[in-house]
Amino acid sequence: MIRLAEAKARAIAPVHPESLIIGSDQVAVANDEILTKPGNHNNARAQLRKISHQSVNFLTGLCVINTASNRIQKDWINYTVHFRDLTEDEIERYLLMETPYDCAGSFKSEGYGISLVQRFEGEDPTSLIGLPLIRLSEMLRNEHQDIP
């Protein structure tokens, strides 16, 4: 995920000289299995069945490239979601309301997905939406001392 975050930032860096470029990428891991973006309803249902009553690690890679100085900062953030025991009806209702087919692990914490959770564990809950703002703020402060 760090490699992909950096690749995303590097892809647009050449057309933005004198800029700070941010790249981010996320993967979900449950029971040593990577949960990709499901792409459709059936795959999402299968993923949610798998993670029912399980803990899932959402690993988010982050990269900031300063095109003026060629400085690159990279890091990754882990945030764990402990899911409740989900019924088939709950899974189906969630998928019909949220359609999280483009989300790692079929989970969208900023929407109805919160109803699937037993508890969260980690330092930066914003990493769940794919952009860890606490760590990003640190990286931006490293580039500009005038940022609060």
pLDDT at 36: 87
Give the position of tokens 């760090």.
Answer: 2
Name the catalytic one among 25, 32, 102, 124. Answer: 25
Residue 111: φ, ψ to 5°: -125, -140
pLDDT at 146: 54
Residue 134 has pLDDT above 90, yes or no: yes
pLDDT at 22: 97
**Average of per-residue pLDDT values in the chain:** 93
- What is the three-state SS of 73-92? EEEEEEEEEEECCCCHHHHH
Report all structural domains of the chain as residue ranges with CATH numbers, in order of start: 2-143 (3.90.950.10)
**25 an active-site residue?**
yes
Residue 78 has pLDDT above 90, yes or no: yes
pTM of this structure: 0.88
Distance between terminal CA atoms of the chain? Answer: 28
